[in-house]
């Protein structure tokens, strides 16, 4: 509307409209230029703040992982820049290795310092021309070939960009969402296509495609402060390589000579092996990661404030006196809620390193006692005695990840389900791909699968894998201290996830397609409908107020499993501006 008013006024007073338009465009262009420069000047501050947030929220173990990535990236990038690319030119053309990088020293240093390939393109083109002229590979008619080849290749992803694919693998490792080797071709193809655009758009897309936590993108921004300069150096060498190889191909001087190619291949393999072995030696000596999964599980603490409880580690007596009144009335009269638990049932109930009884259901039991306003008493129950213990009234309820199945449902009463468990396999890491789908499992034929209880899952497994050999196991001795351990164990994913921390050589795999689930519920003492109605209503309340989800995140998914200590801060610890 403003421009229309200006044009109308110009037409009325008879001023040269063309000149006015040019002046307006000049003003707008100058304003956009100033705005662009302003944004560019703010970029370092933005990167600093992103890096500061990352540094302030990461633990030292995570920082060690980032160091491993940065060192590996730098080592591989320098190998590519100083041998693989220039060595390829020397092997395919009459140009010696020393002439590939020698004339371009100034351009390469500038590219590394500035971190921008575009501004050194003219220098790279001129150095390519100089190399061709020095070796008498061009004349007056062909001397400008690099001026055509280099700009034509500029819009294609260069080696420096392709190296950023290593961040996707690092993010998968960092976020405990590893990418299977079988997916590497898909990652390479998808990365090649997406890297035609901006890295800041391509990397989040790849993270989402391969189901890697999106929060790891901030690490890409933080590490790019270093990696972008090294990557630009690789990109500059890539540009020289393309300029020389492309020009030599057009000049007809590219030759497939067996001697130089074999020598190049041998040296490349030797340098690559030396680089990888050297990295492994450095990491083993100085940055060897210390696995603390078992320590994390052993030291997990309740998500909510601890409630005092009396724990009976010894088995219950043969029988307990029967209560004449209903369970709910009896609990309120006695002021004690007696909850049965299974001794080794992580993540629902187990003893941590301090000898404390913890777990998802132990917190649910504490919350139930608190809501009833009574004291909590926890009594150990044997797995094979769940039905008898409940029917005798030895306990008021059992809370320990008990699976609902037809056999139990016919002899005892259950509450409403509060959670589900998913059929999965606990397998050695090298067997993950073989158990990723039902089709690949059937192809294994008479494979041995350990089955620790879980009758519903066992019957389902017999239907899906009729040729498999199912080996019964003691539910309390899945991993014997001595002797051979099973390679494949039938295990709900929710229980297996915590076992993978205790035994890192194992992984949990949910076969596809489809998922098979069974409900978890609480066995209820006696046939007391009022007590059951109360527990069902209480479970619904815990689900709606988010308690069950929070406990699931903590005990099953491991969120906030380690108590994070506040990081040292100048503002807090020196200036004392905040508490």
CA-to-CA distance for 417 and 267, rounded, in angstroms? 64
> Tell me, what's the pLDDT at 4?
47
> Tell me, what's the pLDDT at 41?
63
* 471 compared with 578, residue with greater pLDDT: 471
Mean pLDDT of the chain: 79
Evaluate the omega torsion of the peptide bond into residue 513 and state whether it is cis, within 30 degrees of 0. yes
**CATH topology (fold) of 421-520:** D-Maltodextrin-Binding Protein; domain 2 (3.40.190)
What residues does CATH 1.10.3860.10 cover in the chain? Answer: 62-285
CA-to-CA distance for 349 and 152, rounded, in angstroms? 64
Cα 97 to chain center, whole Å? 41
pLDDT above 70 coverage of the chain, percent: 77
Q: Quick check: 315 pLDDT over 70?
A: no
B/e letters for 97-118, b = 16+ CB within 10 Å, e = fewer, are eebbbebbeebbebbbeebebe
Q: Quick check: 292 pLDDT over 90?
A: no
Pick the CATH number of 62-285 from 3.20.20.450, 3.30.565.10, 3.30.470.20, 1.10.3860.10: 1.10.3860.10
Q: Which of 233-242, 347-356, 430-439 has the highest mean pLDDT?
A: 233-242
Q: Does an H or E element contain 312, and which?
A: strand 309-315
444-491: pLDDT as tens digits: 888 888 888 777 788 888 888 888 888 887 766 666 655 566 788 888
* 576 compared with 501, residue with greater pLDDT: 501
Q: Is 413 helix (H, G, I), strand (E, B) or coil?
A: strand
CA-to-CA distance for 255 and 222, rounded, in angstroms? 43
Helices 217-251 and 17-57, interaxial angle, to 10°? 120
> Tell me, what's the pLDDT at 561?
55
> Tell me, what's the pLDDT at 562?
55
Residue 464: CB atoms within 10 Å: 13
User: Cβ neighbours of residue 79 under 8 Å, at least 6 residues apart?
Assistant: 271, 272, 275
User: Cβ neighbours of residue 455 under 8 Å, at least 6 residues apart?
Assistant: 405, 407
> Which residue shows structure tokens 């969120």?
559
> Which residue shows structure tokens 């029967």?
322
* 497 compared with 289, residue with greater pLDDT: 497
Pick the CATH number of 296-418+521-555 from 3.40.50.300, 2.40.50.140, 3.60.150.10, 3.40.190.10: 3.40.190.10
Tokens in use for 365? Answer: 């039991």
What residues does CATH 3.40.190.10 cover in the chain? Answer: 296-418+521-555, 421-520
Q: What is the pTM of this model?
A: 0.57
Say if residues 499 and 417 touch (Cβ distance below 8 Å). no
Say if residues 532 and 413 touch (Cβ distance below 8 Å). yes
> Tell me, what's the pLDDT at 299?
62
B/e letters for 536-573, b = 16+ CB within 10 Å, e = fewer, are bebbeebeeeebbebbbebbbebeebeeeeeeeeeeee
């Amino acid at each position: 509307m403003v421009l229309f008013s200006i044009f109308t006024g110009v037409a009325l007073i008879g001023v040269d409209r063309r000149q006015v338009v040019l002046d307006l465009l000049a003003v707008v262009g100058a304003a956009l230029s100033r705005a662009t420069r302003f944004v560019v000047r703010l970029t370092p501050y933005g990167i600093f703040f992103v890096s500061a947030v990352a540094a302030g929220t990461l633990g030292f173990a995570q920082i060690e992982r980032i160091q491993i990535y940065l060192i590996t990236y730098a080592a591989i990038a320098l190998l590519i820049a100083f041998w693989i690319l220039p060595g390829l030119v020397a092997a395919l053309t009459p140009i010696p290795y020393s002439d590939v990088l020698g004339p371009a020293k100034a351009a390469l240093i500038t590219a590394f310092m500035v971190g921008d390939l575009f501004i050194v393109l003219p220098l790279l083109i001129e150095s390519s021309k100089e190399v061709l002229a020095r070796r008498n590979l061009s004349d007056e008619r062909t001397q400008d070939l690099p001026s055509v080849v280099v700009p034509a290749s500029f819009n294609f992803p260069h080696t420096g960009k392709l190296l950023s694919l290593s961040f996707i693998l690092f993010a998968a490792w960092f976020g405990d969402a590893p990418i299977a080797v079988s997916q590497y071709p898909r990652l390479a193809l998808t990365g090649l296509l997406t890297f035609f655009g901006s890295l800041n758009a391509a990397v989040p897309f790849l993270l989402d495609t391969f189901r890697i936590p999106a929060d790891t993108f901030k690490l890409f921004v933080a590490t790019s402060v270093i990696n972008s300069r090294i990557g630009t150096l690789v990109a500059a060498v890539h540009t020289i390589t393309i300029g020389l190889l492309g020009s030599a191909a057009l000049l007809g001087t590219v030759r497939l000579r067996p001697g130089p190619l074999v020598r190049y291949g041998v040296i490349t393999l030797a340098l690559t092996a030396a680089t990888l072995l050297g990295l492994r030696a450095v990491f083993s000596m100085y940055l060897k990661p210390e696995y603390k999964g078992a320590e994390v599980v052993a030291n997990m603490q309740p998500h909510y404030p601890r409630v005092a409880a009396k724990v009976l580690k010894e088995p219950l007596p043969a029988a307990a006196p029967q209560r004449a009144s209903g369970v709910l009335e009896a609990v309120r009269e006695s002021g004690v809620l007696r909850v049965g638990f299974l001794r080794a049932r992580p993540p629902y109930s187990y003893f941590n390193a301090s000898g404390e009884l913890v777990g998802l259901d132990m917190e649910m039991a504490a919350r139930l006692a608190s809501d009833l306003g009574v004291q909590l008493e926890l009594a150990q129950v044997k797995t094979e005695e769940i039905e008898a213990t409940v029917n005798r009234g030895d306990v008021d309820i059992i809370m320990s990840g008990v699976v609902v199945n037809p056999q139990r449902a016919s002899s005892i009463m259950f509450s409403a389900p509060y959670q589900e468990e998913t059929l999965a396999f606990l397998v050695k890491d090298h067997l993950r791909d073989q158990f990723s789908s039902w089709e690949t499992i059937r192809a294994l034929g008479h494979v041995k699968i350990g089955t620790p209880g879980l009758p519903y899952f066992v019957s389902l497994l017999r239907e899906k894998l009729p040729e498999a050999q199912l080996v019964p196991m003691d539910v309390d001795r899945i991993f014997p201290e001595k002797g051979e351990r099973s390679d494949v164990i039938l295990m709900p994913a929710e229980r297996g996830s915590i076992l993978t921390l205790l035994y890192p050589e194992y992984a949990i795999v949910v076969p596809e397609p489809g998922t098979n689930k069974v409900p978890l519920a609480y066995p209820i003492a006696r046939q007391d409908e009022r007590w059951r109605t109360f527990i069902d209503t209480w479970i619904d309340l815990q689900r709606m107020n988010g308690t069950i989800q929070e406990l699931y995140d903590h005990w099953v998914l491991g969120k906030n499993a380690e108590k994070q200590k506040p990081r040292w801060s100048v503002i807090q610890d020196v200036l004392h501006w905040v508490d």
